[in-house]
A and B are shown apart, each in its own frame.
Chain A
């Protein structure tokens, strides 16, 4: 059936049309003074920079064989600045404007799926990026004629920068989709502007590539491993923000958790396999941290989002719960709902820590292991336990005492409780004039940040025992709620099906 649909899709290739969002956005883009004005400014800056270079070099008596390279560096910095600062900002403003409550028509009332809407926005931002890159192309081609930079380097650096700009665009779309008020969105924009200074990093890396010349490095295996890894990482981040954005604009009744949890599980498995291969190849178990730490950080965010899930499943979600018990068991982890999400986060963390422990046993450590490698295992196990303690406590408080408040209060409560308990003793000691280094690096039960500043190694164990006992208590007081959630995870009772009359 599916094969026939795919066949039919390709047979009707003449009827293929571009994503409507892309067409609309591009039409708006070319009409907008913002895009055309920025493009003109960009061209003027490039033109002035070229003139400045040519005029200053005309006073040089000796032939400058590296003039093309120097000019390319400046053009690259201008292009990077314009694309990483302007295009994500423009994209985010456009999405945010359409997400305003007083303008609900676009994103909700059409038959366009949230996936197509976000993909359209992303594709449009990529087109605008291409527009800026192509405007810069003649200037860059000109630098190649002046010597000092080879063509493979030019193409490689541009492809690298394009990837970075696309990732920035996707992150900007995600922030614009967040259900926040205008002041918060302005704060996000300012934060994004500051964060976009990270463009300096790819520019510096590009300069280094230019020094050594990509053409000469292409024969080396390390170069391709590095390139593929970086590309993979950027694509993964882009993909993550893509699925998050799709979830954000999906209707509340949709199964928002499913694509996000499936994507994260897939990426976790893939990166885990790659990390395992890396450790097996090098024989150094410390390489596992490249997988363990990002997993840990992502799962901490996932934990906060998970406890903010509603307990009541919408009819649409319940309709998709499988009848088969085995399938329902797996669906429980991936469908909307805090209970299943908690198990999912816990399972991923336990498996990750377990595999890391096994790898550390079977592969010798590096001769000079880093502090992370030596103490890291204890840190993230303790922090992970505390995170679950606070999450379950917040969950209990929200479900018991603030049942009529939105479920997202649980996530906020968890952060406030953890932050409050970490800061309160310090503030108290400060006002009691008893704040000292000893009071900071001594054992403070329940203080999640204290785990990283212990002077005595044995205190780490005290933290782990405290966190474990707390966790048992939290599991006990949430057990009734959890049982109820498992019981409620059932498909709706069968109703008489009314056949639709639509053709």
Chain B
């Protein structure tokens, strides 16, 4: 299943919520959709889920256009909105059963699908509980279950981790990884970027309706943060060597911005890993008592802070 977003544009009166964006992702991929509030993430997700129609452009779900064939597209896309279900007087099982019916599952097939999804999302134990009585985390599971009950190939998750406690977040992350293994194409928006780095293969960074960065996580990291940061720590009894080390490093080729950070020397290295090895070798040869030499990679959060300005339309 290939999801292709092509030149998507959405206007609300004079406001351009989404401005000519294009990206694509595939089965088994978890794609992060990142941007400040009001960047156009939810609008894009609603268009992919056929809820909104774009002003121009299109989204193709394995060739099925969400504008041309929204009814067909709805059968392959599962949408988890950023709001939780608020239906009164209905149990978890009835809620999931209703959606299975609404998507045309019948008889035994429906019963099996609902039971399987209750097991998968770990809500079987609370299937007879009223929806309103559930915690936020549990409601989030039920919403995910609802989106999965008819086994769609594409999942669109809008802020699924918002407001969840750490345990629920870890469980959600595990669920998403399992879904990716089941060859679902997943687009997920979240403000918890460290988590996205762990589960996403690719990322789209969007601001003011425009794409700032897109690609696989490694590509984006490489593109946006080409220098590696290295931290060097000396043995506690040799901390007095820090000043000499700092001077030494400042004179070394490929090294920039060397500074003392809480008794550790941090510097930026413009070369590759071989260059890092050479520097470590040189330090040891010059009798510096190095106890720790590590590279600190830039993460999605650093890139997000670098490329976005926090603007909304």
Contacts and interface: CB of A to CB of B under 8 A. Distances in A.
Interface of A: 15, 17, 20, 23-24, 27-29, 31-32, 97-98, 102-106, 108-112, 251-253, 314-316, 319, 404-406, 498-502
Contact of B74 (A109, A253, A498): A109
Nearest to B104: A111
B53 A251 contact: yes
A111 B68 contact: no
Given A253-B70, A502-B76, 17 more contacts: A15-B106, A23-B101, A24-B90, A28-B87, A97-B86, A102-B86, A110-B102, A111-B102, A251-B53, A314-B53, A316-B68, A316-B70, A404-B14, A406-B13, A498-B64, A498-B65, A499-B63
B51 A251 contact: yes
Given A32-B88, A110-B74, A498-B65, A253 B99 contact: no
30 contacts: A15-B106, A15-B107, A17-B106, A20-B102, A24-B94, A27-B94, A28-B87, A31-B89, A98-B87, A103-B83, A103-B85, A104-B51, A105-B83, A105-B143, A108-B51, A109-B49, A110-B102, A111-B71, A111-B75, A111-B102, A111-B104, A251-B51, A253-B53, A253-B70, A316-B67, A404-B14, A406-B13, A498-B60, A498-B65, A502-B64
A20 B149 CA distance: 15
B89 A32 contact: yes
A500 B62 contact: yes
**8 nearest A-B pairs in the assembled complex, by CB-CB distance:** A20-B101, A253-B53, A498-B63, A110-B102, A31-B89, A28-B89, A24-B98, A500-B64
A117 to B, nearest CB: 9
Contacts of A98: 87
Interface in B81-111: 81, 83, 85-90, 94, 98-99, 101-104, 106-107
Given A110-B99, A404-B14, A501 B63 contact: yes
A109 B63 contact: no
A71 B74 CA distance: 55
The interface centre, meaning the residue of B60, B70, B88, B102 with most chain A CB atoms within 10 A of its CB, is B102
B85 A23 contact: no
A406 B13 CA distance: 8
Nearest to B103: A111
Interface in B32-81: 49, 51, 53, 60, 62-65, 67-72, 74-76, 79, 81
Contact of B68 (A103, A110, A315): A315
A23 B93 CA distance: 13
A313 to B, nearest CB: 11
Contact of A102 (B79, B83, B94, B99): B83
Interface string B7-21: 000000110000000
B146 interface: yes
B79 A17 contact: no
B62 A501 contact: yes
B164 to A, nearest CB: 18
B284 to A, nearest CB: 59
A252 B53 contact: yes
A499 B103 CA distance: 22
Contacts of B98: 20, 23-24
A112 B146 CA distance: 15
B72 A502 contact: yes
B134 to A, nearest CB: 15
A404 B94 contact: no
A110 B103 contact: yes
A111 B150 CA distance: 11
Contacts of A20: 98, 101-102
Contacts of A498: 60, 63-65
A315 B57 CA distance: 10
A310 to B, nearest CB: 12
A158 to B, nearest CB: 29
Nearest to A502: B72
Contacts of B64: 498, 500-502
Nearest to B83: A102
A92 to B, nearest CB: 15
